Amino acid sequence: MPRFTSEFYDPRKILFFDLRAVHDMDGVVQKWHPPVKRGIVLRPEREYEGGMTLPVAIFPSHDGDRILCHYACINSAEKFPSLKAAGLLHCNCLAVSEDGFGWKRPNLGRTAFRGSTENNILPLADVEFKVVCDPRDPDPARRYKGMALLWPNAGKRVYPDRPGTRIFCSAASPDAIRWSEPVAVPHFLETGDTSGLTYDERRGLFLFTTRPRGYWVGPEFPALTSRPIKKNSPDGRWVAVSTSRDFVEWSPLDLVLTRDARDEEGVDFYCAVFFPYGDLYLGLLRRHHFWHGTMDTELVWGNDGVRWNRSYYRRAFLSPGDLGDEDWCFGDLINCKPIRRGNELLFFYEGRNHVHAPHAVRGTPNAGAMDAFMGVATLREDGFVSLESGAHGGHLTTEVLPAGGKRLALNARTVGDGFISIELLNRRFEPLAGPLRFSGDDTARELRFGEEVALPRTEDGGVMLRLYLENAAIYSLSIRD
């Protein structure tokens, strides 16, 4: 069992986002839970990092023993003239962690700075470089796969007939350090400058998300600095997805998320990342609040990875911090999957204390300065949504569950003298076994009805659960072999 994983697909795990698995309930409410911020874990320390350690990719190593982070350092010549003199205002770096909280900068020996290669600088020339680990690929040279946004000065080498064009390019690596030459993806010309990259183990697809073009007036690409009038497209920024089975051939970008009438005026979508979790799909949607210059993240969910449901009140899943905090303006999750460590999920976010606008008031000491840090937040496994009841108690009956040689596991917790009473029913709501009594806090408590571990076989092939909750919460049900 690897220490860290970013694969969560389990068609036999039931979550309670849309209550499809609930037949009826009384005295039970649905509650949503954000991750808990645990603080900044990566901040600028070395000269070449300047004021930014901007996380762009977080992923487990191929053996699941470590977590790797690609981060970018982007600095202004006015604020860091010494870096301008050294020719390294922008660089990409690698950090490594064994727990998600303490991070080390390994000596990679790949790029010289101040006459030494004893640093963690990667030989990459791009800002937006997303990475996924693909241990299924039989070619060890393609164990890690990346999608990089190359800007015009770097793009000439991969797309010479469009030297002034931003280009997303694919690359592969055996170790996430040494990368193959980038190959341009024609569908991804002149997209936005943020992206997400994940592997969908449910469908066997790589998922690439970005802000697509679609607002150009004519067929030719305009200059990057121009602001053409939008035509036949939604207002603001929006999110599109492309898929690939081999990381070579990619489908055209398809629009999947755009703002609607229930969104606050001035909100648009900076990007998103989608991934299977349990028996459905989840998405982390980065929202830009234009009038405030802030960023946060909304949790979305769906059944097919294309059509998405959004929270009723457009509530944030992760928000910026309070005034004076290092993440005062930005508290948004980076476009990568969460990582499971034991029975909790790790979410990595970027923190900033400058608005998404001119980065400081002109004429002040911090004019032109940018900052970026990486923080970590945690959530119990499957802890996105719960069904719970207080001291007065409540009843819950599930829909029919698959039976015959299966076991059930419960992710739940109680407080004080709370408990959950669990009874097994047939389709006619007649008791088959139980009730069991659960108290405590467990993410995978196996339910044993009598001496038999497996669920009983029934004539019609299905069983149901009836639960009574008192000062208790249920997060998920899992059906196991």
User: In the structure encoding, which two tokens stand for residue 169, read together?
Assistant: 């390019």
Under the banding of pLDDT at 50, 70 and 90, the label for residue 230 is very low
| Chain centroid to CA 125 | 24
Give the ranges where 11-159 is alpha helix by DSSP (H): 81-86, 152-155
Three-state SS sequence of 408-466: EEEEEEEEEEEEEEEEEECCCCCEEEEEEEECCEEEEEEECECCECCCCCCCCCEEEEE
Specify the CATH number of the domain 4-31+390-480: 2.60.120
pLDDT digits (tens, 9 = 90+) for 122-164: 987 666 889 999 888 999 999 999 998 876 655 444 445 555 5
Instruction: Determine the pLDDT at residue 444.
Output: 93
CA dihedral 363, 366, 368, 372 (to 10 degrees): -160
All CATH 2.115.10.20 domain ranges of the chain, comma separated, are: 33-381
All CATH 2.60.120 domain ranges of the chain, comma separated, are: 4-31+390-480
| Chain centroid to CA 298 | 11
Query: Which residue reads 């992710």 in tokens?
Result: 411
CATH class, range 33-381: mainly beta
User: In the structure encoding, which two tokens stand for residue 479, read together?
Assistant: 């059906």
Those residues whose C-beta lies under 8 Å from the C-beta of residue 432, and which sit 6 or more positions away, are 424, 425, 426, 449, 456, 458, 463
Helix (H, G, I), strand (E, B) or coil at 140: helix
d(C-alpha 54, C-alpha 69), whole Å: 10
Note whether 196 and 188 are within 8 A (CB).
Answer: no
* Segment among 116-120, 155-159, 321-325, 338-342 with least mean pLDDT: 155-159
Whole-prediction pTM: 0.91
pLDDT digits (tens, 9 = 90+) for 432-466: 887 899 999 999 998 887 666 566 666 666 788 99
Higher pLDDT, 215 or 246: 246
